[in-house]
């Protein structure tokens, strides 16, 4: 600020000093030498702080950081019915346009692999979804009538490919059973004890029980952390489910505040990563009644104006492992939940959701 003042031409400086300006007239540079003495004496007699035109008064709101802690999806998205039907349609057309499978080229005669292939081929030909494009009489019937997909065993509902995997194991030669047999005999385990490894189901125990504190619920969706606490001055005086929020302390930045608040409030048993320095959303709301300024804070002491409400800036973070632990929470949060965007909409109020919805991912 001092350097800026010295850059201003001297004849402008008197204008910015309101008490001195009224008593002074414009003087030429020749006369400044004679008047400087009188000017300095006047300023000493009436000491006032000059108004700094570059000073913007601090907004009368408490500054807070909120943390949007997300668990990104762990499995691929659920395919809608239309997409699944389209893929079946395209697969049938592709079968019509491909050369027939020459098994003799891939499976040598009188081998174990060929036997497995022949056995599985028999199973495949009995399946309701089996289609032979080279059948002279029925090769043209590649379409499946509407609503018949699940009856033909081609659609198992959204998000259940493990049932399709079962059919795949029954009809596709892979040599896995033989490998399992050999490994079992080598290890001394009785034959037939273990089946070929299958993928784990996409719907977990947490989905069935509907436990909102679990992180392996809704694996194909993003989950966001919400906490419930009795924070003074929550929107409209209501206490409810919110993103973990707390006020800034000292001269820390938004990211520093977020990195401090998260372990304080939600425990240290989480491996998290804060994405960048930029806030992804903001929310301003008023307290039910204005709050007195705190003299301990320098900017509130300087401008002792009653604080009208709160400005929250949200920082984005991801959880990589671990779980929330509210045992020694310093911010008084009592409960937590991991929710999808739709569930969040139901739980928080309309106004809060509208301020937040644009920064959240829908999947």
Partner 1 sequence: MSRILQSLQGYVPSLLRPISQKPASRVSTSITQVRGKKKSSRGGKDPRIQLIHYSLYHPLTPRPLKFSYLRHLRHWTIHRAWQLYKANMRRERELELERMYNSIRDSCEKLKTIGDGGRLYRIAISKQGLGQWGGIGTRIPTEAPGRNGGWDYTYKNQ
Radius of gyration of the chain (CA): 36
Maximum C-alpha span of the chain = 120
* Tokens at 322, concatenated: 């671990």
Count the residues in the chain: 363
Please state the closest distance from residue 101 (CB atom) to partner 1, in A. Answer: 9
Which residue lies nearer to partner 1 by CB, 47 or 57?
57
Which residue lies nearer to partner 1 by CB, 152 or 311?
311
Cβ count near 214 (within 10 Å): 17
Which residue lies nearer to partner 1 by CB, 50 or 237?
50
Which residue lies nearer to partner 1 by CB, 112 or 354?
354
Q: Pairing state of beta strands 245-247 and 270-274?
A: unpaired
Please state the closest distance from residue 346 (CB atom) to partner 1, in A. Answer: 20
Please state the closest distance from residue 287 (CB atom) to partner 1, in A. Answer: 17
Please state the closest distance from residue 345 (CB atom) to partner 1, in A. Answer: 15
Cβ count near 260 (within 10 Å): 15
- Which is it for the CA torsion 123, 125, 126, 129, positive or negative? positive
Which residue lies nearer to partner 1 by CB, 254 or 348?
254
List, in order, residues 6 or more apart from 279 with CB less than 8 Å away.
Answer: 254, 313, 314, 315
Residue with tokens 């204005």: 290
Q: Pairing state of beta strands 241-242 and 245-247?
A: unpaired
Please state the closest distance from residue 233 (CB atom) to partner 1, in A. Answer: 17
Please state the closest distance from residue 251 (CB atom) to partner 1, in A. Answer: 8
């Amino acid at each position: 600020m001092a350097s800026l003042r010295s850059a201003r031409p001297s004849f402008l400086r008197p204008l910015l000093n309101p008490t001195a300006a009224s008593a002074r007239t414009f003087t030429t540079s020749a006369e400044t030498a004679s008047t400087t003495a009188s000017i300095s004496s006047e300023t000493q007699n009436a000491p006032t702080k000059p108004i700094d035109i570059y000073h913007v008064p601090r907004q009368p709101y408490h500054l807070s950081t909120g943390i949007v802690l997300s668990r990104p999806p762990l499995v691929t998205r659920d395919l809608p019915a239309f997409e699944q039907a389209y893929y079946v349609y395209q697969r049938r057309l592709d079968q019509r346009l491909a050369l027939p499978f020459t098994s003799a080229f891939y499976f040598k005669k009188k081998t174990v692999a060929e036997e497995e292939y022949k056995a599985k081929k028999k199973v495949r030909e009995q399946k309701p979804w089996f289609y032979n494009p080279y059948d002279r009489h029925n090769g043209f019937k590649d379409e499946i009538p509407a609503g018949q997909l699940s009856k033909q065993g081609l659609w198992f509902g959204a998000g259940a490919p493990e049932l399709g995997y079962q059919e795949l194991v029954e009809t596709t030669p892979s040599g896995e059973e033989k490998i399992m047999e050999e490994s079992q005999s080598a290890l001394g385990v009785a034959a037939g004890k273990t089946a070929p490894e299958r993928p784990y189901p996409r719907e977990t125990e947490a989905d069935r029980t509907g436990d909102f504190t679990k992180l392996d619920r809704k694996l194909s969706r993003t989950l966001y952390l919400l906490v419930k606490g009795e924070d003074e001055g929550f929107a409209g005086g209501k206490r409810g489910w919110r993103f973990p929020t707390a006020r800034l302390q000292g001269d820390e930045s938004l990211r520093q505040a977020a990195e401090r608040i998260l372990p304080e409030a939600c425990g240290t048993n989480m491996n998290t990563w804060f994405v960048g320095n930029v806030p992804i959303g903001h929310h301003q709301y008023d307290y039910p009644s204005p709050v007195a300024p705190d003299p301990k804070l320098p900017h509130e002491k300087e401008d002792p104006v009653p604080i009208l409400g709160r400005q929250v800036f949200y920082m984005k973070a991801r959880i990589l492992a671990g779980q929330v632990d509210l045992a020694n929470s310093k911010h008084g949060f009592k409960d937590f939940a991991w929710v999808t965007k739709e569930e969040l909409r139901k739980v928080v109020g309309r106004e809060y959701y509208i301020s937040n919805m644009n920064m959240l991912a829908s999947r």
